[in-house]
Amino acid sequence: MTLRKRMTLLVFIDTCIVLSSIYCGYFILHPYFNIFTSKMLFVSVVTIFLAHHFFAWRFGLYRKVWSYASIGELKSITKAVTWTIVIVAGVQFALIQDIYFRALFLTWMLHILLIGGSRLSWRLVRDSVNSRLDNEAIRTLVVGAGQAGTMVVHQLQQNPESGMQPVLFVDDDPMKQGLEIYGVKVVGGLEAIPDFVKDNAIEKIVIAIPSMSKQRMSELMRNCVETGIRTQKIPRIEDLMTGKVSVKDMQDVKIEDLLGRDEVELDLKAIADKLTNKTILVTGAGGSIGSEICRQVSDFRPRRLLLVGHGESSIYNIDMELRQKVSSDVEIIPIIADVKDRNRIFDIVDTYRPDVMYHAAAHKHVPLMEANPAEAVKNNIFGTKNVAEAADVFGVSYFVLVSTDKAVNPPNVMGASKRFAEMIVQNLAKSSQTKFAAVRFGNVLGSRGSVVPLFKQQIAKGGPITVTDPEMTRYFMTIPEASRLVIQAGTLAAGGEVFVLDMGEPVKIVDLAKNLIKLSGYAEDDIGIKFSGIRPGEKLFEELLNENEIQSEQVFPKIFIGKAEPISLFELQDILDKLPGMSGKEVKETLVGVANWKKSTQQDVIKEVVNV
C-alpha cells in the first residue's frame, strides 16, 4: 500500500470514529434528546472533526507504523484526543458559557478506545502473522538478559524476516532467573548452556553480553561452540542503540574470539608524538602485517604514508582501501620496489626522508625456505640489510624490524635468517643515530599462508583437515593486536632492543582445527582430521625467548625486552661476505649455527663459520 493510500484510509477511519464517538456519547447520556437538531452539538461535531485531524497530524498519528505500535504510540493517541476535547470544551464555553463535561468525558473515552483499537488492530494482525512464521523460525537461545539481550529479543520479535525465534534467555543473574522478558523465559547459568540447548531443541545461539571481559567471553564462546550449534555475537551495543546496525548484522563467532586475550590499552600520546604529521614508510605494505600496520598508522594522521611492496596487486589493494578511509590531508604514496634492490631502496629513502620505518617485508614460510635457502638469504637478510642501512645513512629517527618467534633456537632457514636480520639491526644500533629495534611475535591468525585460511579451504571442500602432528603447538595472536603492539614497541625503542610480545598460552593446532570445524557448523566426523607428519624445518613447539634471553619484567603491558645478544659486527660482515657463494646446505648450516650460538660456545661457532 502506498503512503497516500495508507493516509487516506487512516483519515477516513478517524473521521468515522470522531463522528460516531461524539454522537454516541451524547446519545448514551440523553437517549431522548434529538441530537440531529441541536446547533451546539453540530458546532461541537465540526470542531472535534477539525481539531482531531489537526492534532492527529501534529502528533504523527498518520505517519507511524502501527504494526509496531507500543506505549509510545498510545501516548501520541492520548495527546491528540485530549487536546481535541480541550478545544471542543473551549468552543462550548465561548458560545454558551457552559461545558458539557460528562458528554465530553464520555466522548474522550470512546475516542481513545476506538482510535487506539483501530491502530492496535494492525499490531494484532502482524503478531498473528508472526506467530505462524515462528513455527518455521530457527529456535534461538540468547545469552545475556541485560540491555543488549533484551534489545536483541525485541528486534527479533519485531523482525520476523530474520528467521529467528527467541525461545530462551540464559543469564547468571539470580534476580532475573525465572522471570519472563518479552514473553521469553530467563534461566541460568552459563555453564549449563549445553543442557539448555539439548532440552529446548535450540538451533542457534546469540551471545549478547558486550561488557564481559575477553577472557571470560572466550570461555563462554568455547562452551557454546562445544554444543555444535551455530553461535553468533551481537554488534557493538552502541551501534544497535543508534540504529547503525540491526540484529541482521550479527557476526559469527570467529576462531580469533576463542583466544581470550584482553586488548592492550596503547599509549596513544607516545604513538601520536612519533607518527602524527610525520613521514612513515612501511615495507611489505601489501602483506597481512604490513597492511594492518598501515591501517593503524593512518589513524594517527601522518603527513605521508609510503606503501612499499614488491607485489603490484597487494599494494594497489591497500592503497585503494586507505584512500577511501583516511582524510585527504594524509598523502598516501604507493611504491613498487623490492627490498633486495639496494639502489632502489636507497633512492626511495633519500627522496622521501621518512621519520619512521616499519620493515615487514620477508619470506616467512618455513618449508618453502628450506627448499629455497638462497632466497631466504636474499630477502630476509640482505633485504633487511639494505633497508636498515638506508635508514642509518639518511637519518631515519626510528626503525622497527618485524621478526618472529621462529628466530629462537631455529632448526630451519627461515627462522635463522630472521635471527640474522635481528643481529644486523642490533649491530647498526650500536653506532647509528637511528633508534633500531626488532619486534618478535608468533603466528598471526588469518594472515596469508597461516593455517586458518588453509583449514577453511579444506573444510569448504569437505575435508579432511591436514595437521602435521597431534602435539604440534603454536603461539597465536590476531593481526590487529600484533600490529598495534609493533607500533607501540617502536615508541619504546632506545636502540638495539629485541622486543617480545606476550602471546599468551600456546595452542594445539589440532584443537584449533577442531574449533574451526565446529564454528563452520560441522561435526568433527563430517570433516575429519588427517595427520601428515612434521614438515622439513618445523618444530613441535615454538619459543619466544631462549633460556639466555629470558627477562621477566614487562616494559609495557604484553611487551618484554629480550636479552638477545648479536655476534660482533666484524664476524657478522665476514659471514655476509661468504653467504652468496655458499651452497644451500652450507647456507642452512651457517645460519642455524650462528642463530643458535650461546656465550659459552660463541668462539667455537664463529671460528668455524668464519674459516669456511
What local confidence, expressed as pLDDT, does residue 599 receive?
Answer: 43
- Of 506, 457, 507, 448, the closest CA to residue 479 belongs to 448
Task: State pLDDT tens for residues 11-65.
Answer: 777 777 776 766 666 666 665 555 544 666 677 777 777 777 777 777 766 665 5
Mean pLDDT lowest for which of 30-34, 216-220, 405-409, 442-446? 30-34
Tell me the pLDDT tens digit for each residue of 541-568.
766 555 555 556 677 777 888 777 888 8
DSSP letters for 43-96? HHHHHHHHHHHHHHHHTTTTTS-GGG--HHHHHHHHHHHHHHHHHHHHHHHHHH
Q: Mean pLDDT across the chain, nearest whole number?
A: 79
Q: In this predicted structure, which of 347-356, 478-487, 532-541 has the lowest mean pLDDT?
A: 532-541
Look at residue 538 in the predicted model and tell me its pLDDT. Answer: 73
Quote the CA–CA distance of 437 and 434 in Å, as a whole number: 10
Catalytic (active site) residue 406: yes
Question: What pLDDT sits at residue 511?
Answer: 83
Residues 54-98 have pLDDT tens digits of 777 777 666 655 545 556 667 777 787 788 778 878 877 777 666
Query: Would you tell me which CATH number, out of the four given (3.40.640.10, 3.40.50.150, 3.40.50.720, 3.40.50.2300), belongs to the domain 268-610?
Result: 3.40.50.720
Q: Which of 40-49, 252-261, 427-436 has the highest mean pLDDT?
A: 427-436
Average confidence (pLDDT) over 183-198: 85
**pLDDT given at position 313:** 93
Give the best-scoring range by mean pLDDT among 36-45, 105-114, 371-380, 507-516.
371-380
* Grid cell 582445527 in the structure block, residue: 513
Q: Which of 176, 378, 406, 588 is catalytic?
A: 406
- Please report where in the chains the cell 523482525 appears, as a residue: 159
Averaging pLDDT over each range in 68-82, 228-242, 385-399, 446-460, which range is the top one?
385-399
Name residue 309's beta-bridge partners. Answer: 336
How many residues comprise the chain? Answer: 612
| pLDDT at residue 598, rounded to an integer | 53
**Does residue 245 register a pLDDT over 60?**
no
User: Once rounded to an integer, what is the mean pLDDT over residues 384-392?
Assistant: 96
| 111 vs 407 pLDDT, higher one | 407
Does position 407 have pLDDT exceeding 80, yes or no?
yes
Give residue 41's pLDDT: 67
Answer for the pair 530, 313: CB distance below 8 angstroms, yes or no.
Answer: no
Instruction: Among 34-48, 257-271, 417-431, 461-475, name the most confident range.
Output: 417-431
pLDDT band with cut points at 50, 70 and 90 for residue 432 = very high
Query: CA dist 500 to 11, 404, 586, Å?
Result: 72, 9, 29
pLDDT score of 433 more than 90 = yes
Greater pLDDT, 74 or 432: 432
Exposed/middle/buried for residue 500 (C-beta within 10 Å: 0-12, 13-18, 19+): buried
Say if CB 419 and CB 409 are below 8 A apart. no
Instruction: Give the pLDDT of residue 425.
Output: 93
Sorting pLDDT into bands at 50, 70 and 90, what band is 139?
Answer: confident
Q: Tell me what percent of the residues of the chain surpass a pLDDT of 90.
A: 22
Phi, psi (rounded to 5 degrees) for 594 = -70, -40
Q: What is the location of CATH 3.40.50.720 in the chain?
A: 137-253, 268-610
CATH superfamily label, 137-253 = NAD(P)-binding Rossmann-like Domain (3.40.50.720)
